[in-house]
Structure 1
Amino acid sequence: MKTIKIISVVLRGLPNTLTLLVASFFLATVLGIFLAWLNLRKNRLARGIARLYLGLVRGTPPLLMLLLAYYGLPVLLKSIGIDIDHWTRMTFGILGLTIGWSAYLSEAFRSAYLSVDPGQLEAARSVGMSDRHSFWQIIVPQTAMIALPNIENLLIGLVKATSLVYVIGLYDMYNQATNLSNQTSGVYQLKIFIILALIYWVIVLLIEWGFRLIRGHYAKMMA
Protein backbone atom coordinates (compact mmCIF):
# COMPACT_ATOMS: atom_id res chain seq x y z
CA MET A 1 0.00 0.00 0.00
CA LYS A 2 1.33 3.41 -0.98
CA THR A 3 2.28 5.89 1.73
CA ILE A 4 0.15 8.66 0.21
CA LYS A 5 -2.91 6.39 0.36
CA ILE A 6 -2.32 5.67 4.06
CA ILE A 7 -1.85 9.36 4.84
CA SER A 8 -5.02 10.34 3.00
CA VAL A 9 -7.09 7.75 4.89
CA VAL A 10 -5.64 8.63 8.30
CA LEU A 11 -6.12 12.36 7.70
CA ARG A 12 -9.85 11.82 7.22
CA GLY A 13 -9.99 11.67 11.00
CA LEU A 14 -7.94 14.85 11.47
CA PRO A 15 -10.95 17.25 11.63
CA ASN A 16 -12.46 15.22 14.47
CA THR A 17 -9.11 15.00 16.27
CA LEU A 18 -8.59 18.77 16.04
CA THR A 19 -12.19 19.50 17.06
CA LEU A 20 -11.77 17.30 20.13
CA LEU A 21 -8.43 18.91 20.96
CA VAL A 22 -9.45 22.56 20.59
CA ALA A 23 -12.94 22.32 22.12
CA SER A 24 -11.99 20.16 25.10
CA PHE A 25 -8.85 22.19 25.86
CA PHE A 26 -10.77 25.48 25.75
CA LEU A 27 -13.58 24.18 27.97
CA ALA A 28 -11.13 22.45 30.33
CA THR A 29 -9.20 25.72 30.67
CA VAL A 30 -12.34 27.67 31.59
CA LEU A 31 -13.45 24.99 34.06
CA GLY A 32 -9.90 24.67 35.42
CA ILE A 33 -9.69 28.39 36.15
CA PHE A 34 -13.04 28.23 37.96
CA LEU A 35 -11.91 25.22 40.01
CA ALA A 36 -8.63 26.94 40.89
CA TRP A 37 -10.60 29.99 42.03
CA LEU A 38 -12.82 27.79 44.22
CA ASN A 39 -9.79 26.01 45.66
CA LEU A 40 -8.08 29.30 46.55
CA ARG A 41 -11.08 30.77 48.37
CA LYS A 42 -11.24 30.90 52.15
CA ASN A 43 -14.73 29.40 52.10
CA ARG A 44 -14.44 25.80 53.33
CA LEU A 45 -17.43 24.59 51.33
CA ALA A 46 -16.01 25.98 48.08
CA ARG A 47 -12.61 24.46 48.77
CA GLY A 48 -14.21 21.16 49.72
CA ILE A 49 -16.22 20.97 46.49
CA ALA A 50 -13.14 21.79 44.40
CA ARG A 51 -10.93 19.27 46.19
CA LEU A 52 -13.55 16.52 45.96
CA TYR A 53 -13.86 17.10 42.22
CA LEU A 54 -10.09 17.20 41.73
CA GLY A 55 -9.57 14.06 43.77
CA LEU A 56 -12.21 12.07 41.91
CA VAL A 57 -11.18 13.20 38.44
CA ARG A 58 -7.43 12.88 38.92
CA GLY A 59 -7.95 9.42 40.37
CA THR A 60 -9.95 8.24 37.33
CA PRO A 61 -8.19 7.08 34.12
CA PRO A 62 -9.09 9.22 31.06
CA LEU A 63 -10.36 6.14 29.23
CA LEU A 64 -12.77 5.37 32.06
CA MET A 65 -13.84 9.02 32.17
CA LEU A 66 -14.87 8.81 28.51
CA LEU A 67 -16.81 5.62 29.14
CA LEU A 68 -18.56 7.13 32.16
CA ALA A 69 -19.48 10.22 30.14
CA TYR A 70 -20.82 8.20 27.21
CA TYR A 71 -22.58 5.35 29.01
CA GLY A 72 -23.10 6.61 32.55
CA LEU A 73 -24.14 10.25 32.19
CA PRO A 74 -27.26 9.58 30.03
CA VAL A 75 -28.48 7.01 32.55
CA LEU A 76 -27.80 9.34 35.48
CA LEU A 77 -29.55 12.33 33.91
CA LYS A 78 -32.46 10.23 32.67
CA SER A 79 -33.15 9.27 36.27
CA ILE A 80 -33.94 12.93 36.99
CA GLY A 81 -35.92 13.46 33.79
CA ILE A 82 -33.21 14.83 31.49
CA ASP A 83 -32.78 13.04 28.17
CA ILE A 84 -29.43 13.49 26.41
CA ASP A 85 -29.62 10.41 24.16
CA HIS A 86 -29.66 12.73 21.15
CA TRP A 87 -26.17 14.06 21.94
CA THR A 88 -23.52 13.15 19.39
CA ARG A 89 -20.44 11.04 20.06
CA MET A 90 -18.37 14.17 19.51
CA THR A 91 -20.21 15.93 22.34
CA PHE A 92 -19.57 13.06 24.73
CA GLY A 93 -15.94 12.89 23.64
CA ILE A 94 -15.42 16.59 24.31
CA LEU A 95 -17.24 16.30 27.64
CA GLY A 96 -15.15 13.35 28.82
CA LEU A 97 -11.84 14.97 27.89
CA THR A 98 -12.93 18.32 29.33
CA ILE A 99 -13.74 16.79 32.70
CA GLY A 100 -10.48 14.85 32.77
CA TRP A 101 -8.16 17.70 31.80
CA SER A 102 -9.90 20.44 33.80
CA ALA A 103 -8.57 18.95 37.04
CA TYR A 104 -4.96 18.91 35.82
CA LEU A 105 -5.21 22.44 34.42
CA SER A 106 -6.77 23.63 37.67
CA GLU A 107 -3.73 22.47 39.63
CA ALA A 108 -1.41 24.07 37.07
CA PHE A 109 -3.17 27.43 37.49
CA ARG A 110 -3.37 27.16 41.28
CA SER A 111 0.30 26.27 41.77
CA ALA A 112 1.36 29.04 39.37
CA TYR A 113 -0.75 31.60 41.23
CA LEU A 114 0.71 30.56 44.58
CA SER A 115 4.23 30.92 43.15
CA VAL A 116 3.77 34.65 42.59
CA ASP A 117 5.01 36.76 45.50
CA PRO A 118 1.88 38.26 47.16
CA GLY A 119 4.03 41.13 48.44
CA GLN A 120 3.79 42.62 44.95
CA LEU A 121 0.15 43.53 45.63
CA GLU A 122 1.20 45.47 48.72
CA ALA A 123 3.87 47.23 46.68
CA ALA A 124 1.31 48.12 44.02
CA ARG A 125 -1.06 49.52 46.67
CA SER A 126 1.75 51.67 48.04
CA VAL A 127 2.09 53.45 44.67
CA GLY A 128 -1.67 53.99 44.37
CA MET A 129 -2.72 51.07 42.15
CA SER A 130 -6.11 49.49 42.84
CA ASP A 131 -6.30 45.80 43.78
CA ARG A 132 -8.19 44.97 40.60
CA HIS A 133 -5.69 46.79 38.38
CA SER A 134 -2.76 45.22 40.22
CA PHE A 135 -4.23 41.74 39.87
CA TRP A 136 -4.71 41.96 36.11
CA GLN A 137 -1.55 43.92 35.35
CA ILE A 138 0.91 42.24 37.74
CA ILE A 139 -0.36 38.93 39.11
CA VAL A 140 -2.12 37.46 36.07
CA PRO A 141 0.78 37.91 33.58
CA GLN A 142 3.27 36.33 36.01
CA THR A 143 0.86 33.49 36.81
CA ALA A 144 0.38 32.79 33.10
CA MET A 145 4.14 32.81 32.47
CA ILE A 146 4.78 30.37 35.32
CA ALA A 147 1.93 28.09 34.24
CA LEU A 148 2.93 27.96 30.56
CA PRO A 149 5.27 24.92 30.75
CA ASN A 150 2.64 22.85 32.58
CA ILE A 151 -0.09 24.01 30.21
CA GLU A 152 2.06 23.03 27.22
CA ASN A 153 2.68 19.56 28.65
CA LEU A 154 -1.00 19.09 29.40
CA LEU A 155 -2.00 20.16 25.89
CA ILE A 156 0.48 17.69 24.40
CA GLY A 157 -0.94 15.01 26.68
CA LEU A 158 -4.41 15.90 25.45
CA VAL A 159 -3.30 15.44 21.83
CA LYS A 160 -2.47 11.83 22.64
CA ALA A 161 -5.60 11.36 24.77
CA THR A 162 -7.87 12.25 21.83
CA SER A 163 -7.05 8.81 20.43
CA LEU A 164 -9.00 7.27 23.32
CA VAL A 165 -12.33 8.26 21.76
CA TYR A 166 -12.20 5.06 19.72
CA VAL A 167 -13.96 3.43 22.71
CA ILE A 168 -17.13 5.41 21.96
CA GLY A 169 -16.95 4.85 18.21
CA LEU A 170 -15.80 8.32 17.18
CA TYR A 171 -13.77 8.32 13.97
CA ASP A 172 -10.59 10.22 14.72
CA MET A 173 -7.16 9.57 13.19
CA TYR A 174 -6.47 6.58 15.43
CA ASN A 175 -9.78 4.95 14.54
CA GLN A 176 -9.15 5.52 10.84
CA ALA A 177 -5.70 3.95 11.12
CA THR A 178 -7.07 0.94 13.03
CA ASN A 179 -9.83 0.35 10.48
CA LEU A 180 -7.36 0.60 7.61
CA SER A 181 -5.11 -1.93 9.32
CA ASN A 182 -8.04 -4.30 9.80
CA GLN A 183 -9.09 -3.93 6.15
CA THR A 184 -5.62 -5.03 5.04
CA SER A 185 -5.62 -7.94 7.54
CA GLY A 186 -2.74 -6.33 9.40
CA VAL A 187 -0.29 -6.69 6.48
CA TYR A 188 0.56 -2.97 6.54
CA GLN A 189 -0.09 -2.47 10.23
CA LEU A 190 3.43 -1.35 11.16
CA LYS A 191 3.62 1.12 8.30
CA ILE A 192 0.16 2.53 9.06
CA PHE A 193 0.89 3.13 12.73
CA ILE A 194 4.34 4.60 12.08
CA ILE A 195 2.70 7.13 9.75
CA LEU A 196 0.02 7.81 12.37
CA ALA A 197 2.72 8.40 15.01
CA LEU A 198 4.52 10.84 12.69
CA ILE A 199 1.31 12.81 12.14
CA TYR A 200 0.75 13.10 15.90
CA TRP A 201 4.40 14.16 16.23
CA VAL A 202 3.90 16.96 13.68
CA ILE A 203 0.91 18.23 15.68
CA VAL A 204 3.03 18.21 18.85
CA LEU A 205 5.85 20.06 17.07
CA LEU A 206 3.38 22.77 16.00
CA ILE A 207 2.16 23.10 19.59
CA GLU A 208 5.73 23.41 20.89
CA TRP A 209 6.46 26.05 18.24
CA GLY A 210 3.34 28.00 19.24
CA PHE A 211 4.29 27.96 22.91
CA ARG A 212 7.82 29.16 22.09
CA LEU A 213 6.26 32.16 20.36
CA ILE A 214 4.02 32.81 23.36
CA ARG A 215 6.95 32.59 25.81
CA GLY A 216 8.98 34.94 23.61
CA HIS A 217 6.10 37.43 23.54
CA TYR A 218 5.71 37.29 27.34
CA ALA A 219 9.45 37.69 27.84
CA LYS A 220 9.43 40.88 25.76
CA MET A 221 6.41 42.22 27.64
CA MET A 222 7.99 41.60 31.05
CA ALA A 223 11.49 42.80 30.10
Structure 2
Amino acid sequence: MDSFSLAFAIEKFPEVLRGVPATIGVAVFSMLLGTVIGLLIALCRLYRVPVLDRLCALYVSFIRGTPLLVQIYVVFYGFPLLLETVNREWGWQLPVQEMSPLLFAMLAFTINSAAYQSEVIRAALSSTEAGQMEAALSVGMTGTQGLLRIIAPQALVVALPNLGNIFINLIKGTSLAFAIKVLEVMAQAKIIAGDGYRYLEMYVDASIIYWIICWGCEKLFAKLETRFSRHERRAVA
Protein backbone atom coordinates (compact mmCIF):
# COMPACT_ATOMS: atom_id res chain seq x y z
CA MET A 1 0.00 0.00 0.00
CA ASP A 2 1.35 3.43 -0.99
CA SER A 3 2.08 5.98 1.70
CA PHE A 4 -0.04 9.05 2.24
CA SER A 5 0.48 11.54 -0.59
CA LEU A 6 0.28 15.10 0.70
CA ALA A 7 0.85 16.44 -2.82
CA PHE A 8 -2.18 14.54 -4.15
CA ALA A 9 -4.34 15.77 -1.26
CA ILE A 10 -3.33 19.38 -1.91
CA GLU A 11 -3.76 19.04 -5.68
CA LYS A 12 -7.28 17.60 -5.43
CA PHE A 13 -8.47 19.82 -2.59
CA PRO A 14 -10.06 22.42 -4.94
CA GLU A 15 -12.01 19.66 -6.68
CA VAL A 16 -13.46 18.45 -3.39
CA LEU A 17 -14.45 22.06 -2.66
CA ARG A 18 -16.87 21.89 -5.59
CA GLY A 19 -19.24 19.98 -3.35
CA VAL A 20 -19.44 22.80 -0.78
CA PRO A 21 -22.37 24.69 -2.43
CA ALA A 22 -24.53 21.56 -2.37
CA THR A 23 -23.55 20.82 1.23
CA ILE A 24 -24.37 24.32 2.45
CA GLY A 25 -27.44 24.59 0.24
CA VAL A 26 -29.03 21.43 1.65
CA ALA A 27 -28.23 22.45 5.23
CA VAL A 28 -29.47 26.04 4.93
CA PHE A 29 -32.67 25.13 3.07
CA SER A 30 -33.58 22.34 5.48
CA MET A 31 -32.74 24.51 8.49
CA LEU A 32 -34.93 27.42 7.38
CA LEU A 33 -37.91 25.35 6.27
CA GLY A 34 -37.44 23.05 9.24
CA THR A 35 -37.65 26.05 11.57
CA VAL A 36 -41.06 27.01 10.17
CA ILE A 37 -42.39 23.44 10.37
CA GLY A 38 -40.78 22.93 13.77
CA LEU A 39 -42.46 26.07 15.12
CA LEU A 40 -45.87 24.86 13.95
CA ILE A 41 -45.27 21.46 15.53
CA ALA A 42 -44.09 23.07 18.77
CA LEU A 43 -47.20 25.27 18.96
CA CYS A 44 -49.49 22.31 18.30
CA ARG A 45 -47.87 20.39 21.14
CA LEU A 46 -47.53 23.35 23.46
CA TYR A 47 -51.19 24.31 23.18
CA ARG A 48 -52.32 20.68 22.94
CA VAL A 49 -54.27 21.06 19.71
CA PRO A 50 -56.66 18.09 19.49
CA VAL A 51 -55.51 15.28 17.16
CA LEU A 52 -52.57 17.33 15.85
CA ASP A 53 -50.87 17.12 19.23
CA ARG A 54 -50.82 13.31 19.07
CA LEU A 55 -49.80 13.21 15.40
CA CYS A 56 -46.95 15.66 15.97
CA ALA A 57 -45.71 13.70 18.98
CA LEU A 58 -45.72 10.51 16.90
CA TYR A 59 -43.87 12.26 14.06
CA VAL A 60 -41.18 13.60 16.39
CA SER A 61 -40.76 10.24 18.09
CA PHE A 62 -40.44 8.42 14.75
CA ILE A 63 -37.89 10.82 13.29
CA ARG A 64 -35.76 10.89 16.43
CA GLY A 65 -35.92 7.12 16.70
CA THR A 66 -34.80 6.23 13.17
CA PRO A 67 -31.42 6.75 11.44
CA LEU A 68 -31.08 9.70 9.10
CA LEU A 69 -29.79 7.45 6.31
CA VAL A 70 -32.96 5.37 6.49
CA GLN A 71 -35.06 8.54 6.28
CA ILE A 72 -33.13 9.64 3.20
CA TYR A 73 -33.78 6.32 1.48
CA VAL A 74 -37.48 6.36 2.43
CA VAL A 75 -37.90 9.84 0.93
CA PHE A 76 -35.81 9.04 -2.15
CA TYR A 77 -37.69 5.88 -3.03
CA GLY A 78 -41.04 6.54 -1.38
CA PHE A 79 -41.82 10.10 -2.42
CA PRO A 80 -41.71 9.42 -6.18
CA LEU A 81 -43.98 6.42 -5.63
CA LEU A 82 -46.42 8.66 -3.75
CA LEU A 83 -46.39 11.23 -6.54
CA GLU A 84 -46.93 8.58 -9.19
CA THR A 85 -49.93 7.32 -7.23
CA VAL A 86 -51.32 10.86 -7.07
CA ASN A 87 -50.81 11.26 -10.83
CA ARG A 88 -52.59 8.00 -11.52
CA GLU A 89 -55.49 8.49 -9.12
CA TRP A 90 -56.11 12.19 -9.64
CA GLY A 91 -54.97 12.59 -13.22
CA TRP A 92 -52.27 15.11 -12.36
CA GLN A 93 -49.06 15.54 -14.32
CA LEU A 94 -46.46 16.02 -11.60
CA PRO A 95 -42.91 15.79 -13.06
CA VAL A 96 -41.78 12.84 -10.97
CA GLN A 97 -38.99 11.70 -13.28
CA GLU A 98 -37.50 15.19 -13.54
CA MET A 99 -36.91 15.64 -9.80
CA SER A 100 -33.23 15.75 -8.90
CA PRO A 101 -31.60 13.86 -6.01
CA LEU A 102 -30.77 17.26 -4.50
CA LEU A 103 -34.49 17.99 -4.08
CA PHE A 104 -35.06 14.68 -2.30
CA ALA A 105 -32.08 15.36 -0.04
CA MET A 106 -33.49 18.76 0.91
CA LEU A 107 -36.86 17.18 1.65
CA ALA A 108 -35.37 14.42 3.79
CA PHE A 109 -33.16 16.78 5.79
CA THR A 110 -36.07 19.20 6.28
CA ILE A 111 -38.23 16.42 7.69
CA ASN A 112 -35.40 15.42 10.01
CA SER A 113 -34.53 18.96 11.04
CA ALA A 114 -38.13 19.95 11.77
CA ALA A 115 -38.53 17.20 14.36
CA TYR A 116 -35.44 18.20 16.32
CA GLN A 117 -36.11 21.91 16.04
CA SER A 118 -39.67 21.47 17.27
CA GLU A 119 -38.38 20.08 20.56
CA VAL A 120 -35.88 22.92 20.95
CA ILE A 121 -38.50 25.55 20.14
CA ARG A 122 -41.10 23.96 22.42
CA ALA A 123 -38.65 23.92 25.33
CA ALA A 124 -37.64 27.54 24.65
CA LEU A 125 -41.25 28.75 24.51
CA SER A 126 -42.04 26.84 27.72
CA SER A 127 -39.13 28.53 29.49
CA THR A 128 -40.77 31.98 29.29
CA GLU A 129 -43.04 33.14 32.10
CA ALA A 130 -46.68 32.35 31.45
CA GLY A 131 -47.80 35.68 32.92
CA GLN A 132 -46.19 37.61 30.09
CA MET A 133 -48.76 36.42 27.58
CA GLU A 134 -51.54 37.35 29.97
CA ALA A 135 -49.99 40.81 30.36
CA ALA A 136 -49.82 41.20 26.58
CA LEU A 137 -53.47 40.28 26.22
CA SER A 138 -54.42 42.68 28.99
CA VAL A 139 -52.94 45.67 27.11
CA GLY A 140 -54.85 44.86 23.93
CA MET A 141 -52.42 42.65 22.03
CA THR A 142 -53.67 39.61 20.18
CA GLY A 143 -52.23 36.19 20.93
CA THR A 144 -50.16 36.31 17.75
CA GLN A 145 -48.78 39.76 18.58
CA GLY A 146 -47.88 38.68 22.09
CA LEU A 147 -46.13 35.59 20.74
CA LEU A 148 -44.12 37.47 18.11
CA ARG A 149 -43.27 40.61 20.09
CA ILE A 150 -42.77 39.31 23.62
CA ILE A 151 -42.45 35.53 23.83
CA ALA A 152 -40.53 34.75 20.61
CA PRO A 153 -37.56 37.13 21.21
CA GLN A 154 -36.97 35.66 24.66
CA ALA A 155 -37.38 32.10 23.39
CA LEU A 156 -34.91 32.77 20.58
CA VAL A 157 -32.15 33.60 23.05
CA VAL A 158 -32.78 30.32 24.86
CA ALA A 159 -33.06 28.24 21.69
CA LEU A 160 -30.16 29.70 19.71
CA PRO A 161 -27.35 27.49 21.09
CA ASN A 162 -29.32 24.30 20.41
CA LEU A 163 -30.39 25.55 17.00
CA GLY A 164 -26.73 26.12 16.23
CA ASN A 165 -25.95 22.54 17.21
CA ILE A 166 -28.75 21.28 14.96
CA PHE A 167 -27.39 23.27 12.01
CA ILE A 168 -23.85 21.96 12.56
CA ASN A 169 -25.20 18.43 12.72
CA LEU A 170 -27.04 19.08 9.46
CA ILE A 171 -23.78 20.17 7.83
CA LYS A 172 -22.11 16.94 8.93
CA GLY A 173 -25.20 14.90 8.11
CA THR A 174 -25.16 16.02 4.49
CA SER A 175 -22.26 13.60 4.02
CA LEU A 176 -24.95 10.89 3.84
CA ALA A 177 -26.55 12.53 0.81
CA PHE A 178 -23.95 10.92 -1.44
CA ALA A 179 -25.98 7.70 -0.96
CA ILE A 180 -28.63 9.13 -3.31
CA LYS A 181 -26.07 10.62 -5.73
CA VAL A 182 -26.03 14.21 -4.48
CA LEU A 183 -22.69 15.73 -5.42
CA GLU A 184 -21.79 17.27 -2.09
CA VAL A 185 -18.37 17.25 -0.39
CA MET A 186 -18.29 13.55 0.47
CA ALA A 187 -19.52 12.50 -2.96
CA GLN A 188 -16.83 14.61 -4.62
CA ALA A 189 -14.20 13.05 -2.36
CA LYS A 190 -15.36 9.50 -3.12
CA ILE A 191 -15.43 10.12 -6.88
CA ILE A 192 -11.89 11.53 -6.91
CA ALA A 193 -10.66 8.80 -4.56
CA GLY A 194 -12.10 6.11 -6.83
CA ASP A 195 -10.29 7.53 -9.84
CA GLY A 196 -6.90 7.73 -8.18
CA TYR A 197 -7.29 5.02 -5.51
CA ARG A 198 -6.27 7.61 -2.93
CA TYR A 199 -9.10 7.24 -0.43
CA LEU A 200 -7.29 8.39 2.70
CA GLU A 201 -6.12 11.62 1.06
CA MET A 202 -9.64 12.47 -0.13
CA TYR A 203 -11.23 11.65 3.22
CA VAL A 204 -8.70 13.92 4.92
CA ASP A 205 -9.60 16.69 2.45
CA ALA A 206 -13.32 16.18 3.15
CA SER A 207 -12.79 16.18 6.90
CA ILE A 208 -10.85 19.46 6.73
CA ILE A 209 -13.61 21.07 4.66
CA TYR A 210 -16.33 19.93 7.05
CA TRP A 211 -14.29 21.13 10.00
CA ILE A 212 -13.77 24.59 8.47
CA ILE A 213 -17.47 24.97 7.67
CA CYS A 214 -18.55 23.82 11.14
CA TRP A 215 -15.96 26.05 12.81
CA GLY A 216 -17.33 29.03 10.88
CA CYS A 217 -20.88 28.12 11.88
CA GLU A 218 -19.86 27.86 15.53
CA LYS A 219 -18.39 31.36 15.41
CA LEU A 220 -21.47 32.73 13.63
CA PHE A 221 -23.94 31.31 16.14
CA ALA A 222 -21.73 32.42 19.04
CA LYS A 223 -21.87 36.00 17.74
CA LEU A 224 -25.63 35.78 17.22
CA GLU A 225 -26.07 34.44 20.74
CA THR A 226 -24.00 37.28 22.20
CA ARG A 227 -25.84 39.89 20.18
CA PHE A 228 -29.34 38.66 21.04
CA SER A 229 -28.41 38.20 24.70
CA ARG A 230 -27.19 41.81 24.82
CA HIS A 231 -30.46 43.08 23.35
CA GLU A 232 -32.39 40.91 25.81
CA ARG A 233 -30.49 42.36 28.78
CA ARG A 234 -31.17 45.89 27.54
CA ALA A 235 -34.87 45.12 27.15
CA VAL A 236 -35.05 43.74 30.70
CA ALA A 237 -33.17 46.77 32.05
Same fold (TM over 0.5): yes
45 and 175 in structure 1: CA distance in 2 versus 1, 3 angstrom threshold: same
Deviation at 1:26, TM superposition (A): 1.1
The answer to whether residue 69 in structure 2 is matched with residue 63 in structure 1 is yes
Which of 113, 138, 148 aligns to 1:136? It is: 148
TM-score, structure 2 normalization = 0.86
Q: Distance in 1 between matches of 2:211 and 2:230?
A: 29
Deviation at 1:5, TM superposition (A): 1.8
Give CA deviations for 1:88-139 in whole Å, capped at 9, x if unaligned: 111001001111111001111001111111122334556x362544332321
Q: Distance in 2 between matches of 1:111 and 1:3?
A: 44
The answer to whether residue 198 in structure 2 is matched with residue 201 in structure 1 is no
Contact preservation (8 Å) 2:189, 2:205:
no
Please give the root-mean-square deviation of Cα atoms over the aligned residues, in Å: 1.7
Q: How many matched pairs?
A: 220
Q: Distance in 1 between matches of 2:228 and 2:130?
A: 20
Report the counterpart of residue 19 of structure 1 in structure 2. 25
Which of 108, 122, 125 aligns to 1:113? It is: 125
Report the counterpart of residue 165 of structure 2 in structure 1. 153
Unaligned runs of 5+ in 2: 1-6
Q: Distance in 1 between matches of 2:191 and 2:48?
A: 52
The percent identity for this pair of structures is 31
Contact preservation (8 Å) 2:64, 2:115:
yes
Contact preservation (8 Å) 1:121, 1:131:
no
Q: Distance in 1 between matches of 2:136 and 2:81?
A: 52
Contact preservation (8 Å) 2:71, 2:108:
yes
Which of 76, 79, 82 aligns to 1:76? It is: 82
The answer to whether residue 182 in structure 2 is matched with residue 173 in structure 1 is no
Which of 147, 162, 184 aligns to 2:174? It is: 162
Q: Distance in 2 between matches of 1:222 and 1:15?
A: 34
Q: Distance in 1 between matches of 2:61 and 2:157?
A: 26
